[in-house]
Structure 1
Amino acid sequence: MLGVTITEFIQEKELINMTPEIDTDGIFVKHPDVNRPALQLTGFFEHFDSERIQILGHVEYEYLGQMEELSRKNIFNKLLSYKVPCIVYARGHKPDEDVLELCNYYEVPCLVSEQTTSDFMAEVIRWLKVKLAPAITIHGVLVDVFGEGVLIMGESGIGKSEAALELIKRGHRLVSDDVVEIRKVSDATLIGTAPDITRHFIELRGIGIIDVKALFGVESVKDTQQIDMVIKLEDWDNERMYDRLGLEENYTEFLGNKIVCYTLPIRPGRNLAVICEAASVNHRQKKMGYNAAQELYNRVQANINKNENPIDRLK
């Protein structure tokens, strides 16, 4: 991925482009942070992050207004020579004509935002971190079940889409079927989305492609969802011992982030949708501090201690 184009940045943040002559489709932002070039305006360019979007707030604007015209030109000439992605004036401040001439000369877009500097910076950083986050594509189905992002995985044809369809009929929301794009937006958060081509579609073997949004309404779909747990479907194996208590959590890893993972064996008669609902509610309950398996274990231990012979305790 090359990054985010300045054209997309302008459209997303509804910015005013003061240099329309510059082709913004070929300029990319590759760094998720921004920079306020306060020190650079004084002439200090050591450790200058030239790959970041440069934002001029009210303080920088007032400082530039007190500078002599020649000094202002010289400092902007040096700043723009680093080929920064763009310069954004916050609070609706407008750049001087000499600044626009230099921006056009170096082909650095000059933009204006009506937002306050702090709010604009926070929104841009949040947006860029999502857009530029490390990403992978996996085979699976992502569904929002009671607010928990459930990623259903398994071999092709095992019943992932059918389970998702039943969950949708029970009032839950589809995020993506068959292909899930996962982005790591932080060390603790993975966000799943659907590719534009397959968004809102489900493939059912024997029937074909169905449009979930058209059939079940807009309340049955969702564009993005944090991935909270993974359910792996596999054929039932009589020789394998499956976990029946759940005292220990199993995890799977995506992009360095660990996600709780449950393995569900498939056999005729098992209602996958109900199991997924129960797993989601149970996972939320664990996050709130209650573990049913641990509670059962504590009751068993308490019962053993209660029925233990007092003389045996003294030994």
Structure 2
Amino acid sequence: MAKVTVKDILKNFKMELVSGEEGINRQITTSDLSRPGIELAGFYDHYPAERVQLLGRTELSFFHKFLSPQERKERMEKLCTEITPAIIVTRNQEVPEELIRASERVGVPVLRSPMKTTKISSLLTNYLEGKLAPTISIHGVLVDVYGVGVLITGKSGVGKSETALELVKRGHRLVADDCVEIRQEDYDTLVGNAPELIEHLLEIRGLGIINVMTLFGAGSVRSHKRISLCIHLENWDANKQYDRIGLEEEKMKIFDTELPKLTIPVQPGRNLAVIIEVAAMNYRLKRMGVNAAQLFTEKLYSSITQRPDDED
């Protein structure tokens, strides 16, 4: 899991640091945010201090109109704890003096943003969910084929990189070769990218390392792509029965997400790039409700069970 600090938030969202510079490197451990309205009213029993706190117009209006000077001081001191990563004041509102003093005492960064509270809440949540998503590295190749993120796996030397090179030549886009970093951004959403060190690079045995973007242009690569389909390459085994109709659907589980998986036997003379292209198009058709294997099976069953009309 990647680390996100308050400094990253300050940089990426172009906020103003008002106070608490001492805690600028505090880590943010959750994508959940908090608007501490009920806490400002005095109820701190379930205060989520580990979250980034947002103070919008509603919270500060209540703070100024209904709290005495002593209550303001006490509430802000309780708001700033040792584990609070940051407090963000939205709409470029004036930061209360009580909050500045409390934040300086504990070292909680207070940031100010010109954006509305709901807007900054949405953007910040999406940013943190992406950065803090669980991540795993898998040996394989990730290619964008007709808009479908195809993860190609298989033993070393089976031809994954050569197949990816042929797909790039046919106009598709490389995301990662050899090592694919996969993060789960949502319950059923897996996004893959290449480690920074090998981004845009492809290793071909006998040829070496090539830079795909330099050779084929910027349109031949992508920085990241949602993974929709897994294709596993394996050497042809004459004693193994391979699926010839397509009714059986294998699954590959990564985190909590199950991906449809196809096992493609590798044999001299088989054009793997074309097979993967067709697999990607067939996946899109299935998503649209057109299943050729299912339709064939239904027609076959209907043909077998149909009885000829009784003779006169």
Interval containing the TM-score (normalised by the shorter chain): over 0.9
Q: 2:255: which partner in 1?
A: 255
Matches of 1:68 and 1:47 in 2, distance apart?
23
Change (3 A) 1:201 1:236: same
Q: 2:45: which partner in 1?
A: 46
Identical-pair percentage: 41
Give 1:127 shift: 1.4
Deviations 1:159-188 (A, max 9, x none): 111111111111111111111111111111
Task: Please show how residues 231-246 of structure 1 align to structure 2 within 5 Å.
Answer: 231-246=231-246
Deviations 1:188-240 (A, max 9, x none): 11111111111111111111111111211111111111110100000000111
Q: 1:78: which partner in 2?
A: 78
Give 1:122 shift: 1.1
Task: Please show how residues 14-53 of structure 1 align to structure 2 within 5 Å.
Answer: 14-19=14-19, 21-25=21-25, 27-53=26-52
Give 1:149 shift: 0.6
Matches of 1:175 and 1:19 in 2, distance apart?
41
4+ runs of 1 displaced by more than 6 Å?
Answer: none
Task: Please show how residues 108-257 of structure 1 align to structure 2 within 5 Å.
Answer: 108-257=108-257
Q: Does the Cα contact within 8 Å between 2:20 and 2:104 map onto a contact in 1?
A: no
Q: 2:286: which partner in 1?
A: 286
Q: Does the Cα contact within 8 Å between 1:2 and 1:30 map onto a contact in 2?
A: no
Give 1:21 shift: 3.1
Q: Does the Cα contact within 8 Å between 1:16 and 1:113 map onto a contact in 2?
A: yes
Q: Does the Cα contact within 8 Å between 1:2 and 1:28 map onto a contact in 2?
A: no
Give 1:120 shift: 1.1
Matches of 1:68 and 1:215 in 2, distance apart?
68
Worse-superposed segment, 166-175 or 62-71: 62-71
1:61 counterpart = 2:51? no
Worse-superposed segment, 210-219 or 266-275: 210-219
Q: Does the Cα contact within 8 Å between 1:83 and 1:106 map onto a contact in 2?
A: no
SS at match of 1:18: strand
Give 1:20 shift: 6.5
Q: 2:3: which partner in 1?
A: 3
Change (3 A) 1:82 1:23: closer
Question: When the two structures are superposed, what TM-score results if normalisation uses the length of structure 1?
Answer: 0.94
Change (3 A) 1:46 1:310: farther
RMSD, aligned CA: 1.6
Matches of 1:174 and 1:13 in 2, distance apart?
30
Where does structure 2 lack aligned partners over 5 or more consecutive residues? Answer: none
Q: Between Structure 1 and Structure 2, how many residues are aligned? A: 310
Deviations 1:17-53 (A, max 9, x none): 112732423x100011101001111111122111111
Question: When the two structures are superposed, what TM-score results if normalisation uses the length of structure 2?
Answer: 0.95
